Amino acid sequence: MRKIYIAGNWKLNFTQSETKSFLEDLKSKVKNLNSNICVLVHPSFTSLSTAQEILKNSNIHFGAQNCSCQDNGAFTGEVSIAMLKETGVSSIIIGHSERREIFKETDENINSKLKAIRKEATLTAIVCCGESEETREQGKTDGWVEKQIEAAFKDIQLDISNIYKVVIAYEPIWAIGTGKTCDSNEANRVIKVIRNKFAKIYSQDLADKISILYGGSVKSSNIEELLKTSDIDGALIGGASLKTEEFAGIIDKSNNLLASTTA
């Protein structure tokens, strides 16, 4: 059974003190998690040490929203993987559509970041992909995500020893922050396309093992429908991960669903 991830992406939100009160509240709401669920939050760089302090000895993990592919040097404003590792992160999101669109990150940049993360055996990379509304309307979604996956994983060595340290998030751009969730059957269909592409690059065995998440206006009212599909292994969540009640509700529903299917 693949691991289920419920991962919050906080984007440019929450100071250190806001992070502290949010996580204390969340911690008090999240109890007795199924061992197959991994709950993650991704605060801003400046709040990572606060997350480390509040989340120690808890079942909630945390990660970064971005990283540099460089180890050190003249790269003003960048944060290296070694720096992130010392803050205790367990995951790093790369290739988010906001990084691609606003900050002009290319497929090659994302591939370089994935190569850098893979040098650290303990870190999980969450690799995002997804099509724009225009690409979807042109009927080019499948080819688009296949191309993104091929580029992100170019020359990345994966096998049974490290497959659990890579997660893919399918996030149709038109569904991010818009309230327009992708229909669960359609999200599942595209995720199968991604899984098949992954099988062609690596093997069916690794493709069957990698967790692929859906992201785009996920909330507590639609998480169950998404998780009931065959291939959606969790969610990357923006807006709803900024409200403790809502995020805890998503976690709770995922946990209960898993308990009922594994019972």
Q: Which residues contact ligand PEP by CB under 6 A?
A: 9, 171, 176-177, 215-218, 236-240
In the structure encoding, which two tokens stand for residue 223, read together?
Answer: 């998480």
Q: Is 233 helix (H, G, I), strand (E, B) or coil?
A: coil
Residue 204 is encoded by which pair of tokens? 């069916």
Residue with the CB atom nearest ligand PEP in the bound state = 238
Catalytic residue among 42, 61, 96, 146: 96
Indicate the residue among 84 and 172 with the shorter CB distance to ligand PEP: 172
CA distance readout (Å), 134 to 138, 139, 140, 141, 169 = 6, 9, 9, 9, 20
Rank residues 6 and 206 by Cβ distance to ligand PEP and give the closer one.
Answer: 6
Q: Which of 98, 105, 131, 171 is catalytic?
A: 171
Three-class SS state of 4: strand
What is the rounded CA–CA span in Å between residue 176 and residue 96? 10
CA distance linking residue 98 with residue 174, whole number of Å: 12
Q: Give CA separation, 262 vs 113, 220, 258, in Å.
A: 36, 21, 6
171 has catalytic annotation = yes
Which of 7, 89 has the CB closer to ligand PEP? 7
**Which residue matches tokens 């690596």?**
202
CB nearer to ligand PEP: give 51 or 158: 51
Beta bridge partners of 128: 169
Nearer of residues 158 and 194 to ligand PEP, judged by Cβ = 194
Is 245 an active-site residue?
no
Whether the CB-CB separation of 40 and 6 falls below 8 Å is answered with yes
Quick one: three-class SS letters along 76-120?
Answer: CCCCCHHHHHHCCCCEEEECCHHHHHCCCCCHHHHHHHHHHHHCC
Residue 40, both tokens: 């993650």
Q: Which residues are catalytic?
A: 96, 171
